[in-house]
Chains A and B, each alone.
Chain A
């Protein structure tokens, strides 16, 4: 299992060698920015509630970074879209679970198309998936959907400040739809639709670790 987990992360984290130089210089820059933020951040942020949000490393937004982030978003959208498409096709769902899969599946497929269009020839190809039976059982489907949607919200939120403002306009119109999905499926399973006053912002690494643990991505 740990071996498989490692494999998953490698798949998820696949980096184009051409990006490595940029990646490295970005790290250096990020470290510098972090220090700069360290001096002023506490004062700017002030309150405990806002201060409690994770301090995400922010490198200067730019076109190359947008491509990296949009491909990260595309991977998550591929995952969600395929999950709902398979669940709908399995015939295991009925009632509101089926309605949810149908509606949300269409949204995720629209998000995939949108991101593929935005990335053009820079779009990463769709991986293959194994949902380990979660698309063939209604309860497992719903529980998994809660996790995927909450994860999607935290993933987009975590990347917001790393995007150029232009791309953030688009991301903002997608992330709130993910949040609507999350609240909807939470209400279906009897969990609080809005469990906190502030949603999580998770780093790419945190999301990749969470996705890796599912073992859903197989190629």
Chain B
């Protein structure tokens, strides 16, 4: 029962749903900004890309903020999972190395995303990993699922990112998640690269998967309000 990552274990207090509702609201707002950006670009004669770059210094698009917060939520989850697993003392050998290296990567990803988002960053939720951080078998199975999910999540969002600097950051993280996935699969005796093409998953599909774990137990709240500025 411990780590059965079925979809039956629902997000009872709506914590995750709240995060994603917030994300979706911001995504909706982006329709306006996007039109505004294209309009500005049209006036300058350079098209949508110029429009995006010509925005006031420091302004990020609402879509990018929503995506970055979505990524941050997943990175919070991974980082906390590995931090707790490392602290549990239950892991040895290859798994101990894995949790140390990968945990550090995920914490770095959290820091980078928080810095990028500034006051627009979603707050860290609280977690309950249901014993999966205290036992090698459950840990390694869960880590594989989390990493494969992370790969699919970044693949799904990268093409939606509007600002090149943020896209480049997402790409640089995406393949590190894929390396983690491959590594834990290798340790688990599963094919590290099971298919020639990895699949992408939408935000909604990821939401369902994350809800299924029941790992997020508190309602996350935004640390700030107002216009996101990516002031770092």
Contacts and interface: CB of A to CB of B under 8 A. Distances in A.
Given A173-B198, A176-B198, A180-B192, A44 B180 contact: no
Given A60-B47, A165-B160, A173 B165 contact: no
B197 A174 contact: yes
B95 interface: no
A157 B165 contact: no
A interface bracket (residues with beta carbon within 8 Å of B) = 35 or more
B178 A180 contact: yes
A198 B182 contact: no
B155 interface: yes
Interface stretch (A12-20, A49-57, A125-133): A49-57
Interface string B163-191: 11111110111111111111101100001
A40 B151 CA distance: 29
A169 B193 contact: no
A160 B54 CA distance: 21
B158 A160 contact: yes
Given A33-B53, A47-B112, A53 B169 contact: yes
A119 interface: no
13 contacts: A39-B57, A40-B57, A41-B165, A50-B112, A153-B175, A169-B159, A172-B198, A176-B177, A176-B198, A184-B182, A196-B176, A198-B176, A199-B172
A179 B175 contact: yes
Nearest to B109: A197
B115 interface: yes
Interface in B1-54: 46-47, 49-50, 53-54
A166 B200 CA distance: 13
Given A33-B49, A184-B186, A175 B168 contact: no
Interface string A161-182: 1000110110011111111111
Most central of B54, B186, B200 by chain A CB within 10 Å: B186
B196 A183 contact: no
B169 A50 contact: yes
Given A103-B191, A179-B175, A184-B192, A194 B101 contact: yes
A198 B165 CA distance: 14
Interface string B53-70: 111011010000000000
Interface residues of B, number: 61
Interface string B136-176: 00000000000000010011001110011111110111111
A166 to B, nearest CB: 8
A173 B199 contact: yes
Interface of A: 33, 36-37, 39-41, 43-47, 49-50, 53, 56, 58, 60-61, 103-104, 106-107, 110-111, 114, 153, 157, 160-161, 165-166, 168-169, 172-184, 187, 192-194, 196-201
A20 B175 CA distance: 33
A68 B97 CA distance: 41
A199 to B, nearest CB: 4
Contacts of B176: 179, 194, 196-199
Contacts of A44: 57-58, 60, 163, 165-166, 230
Contact of A201 (B171, B200, B230, B232): B171
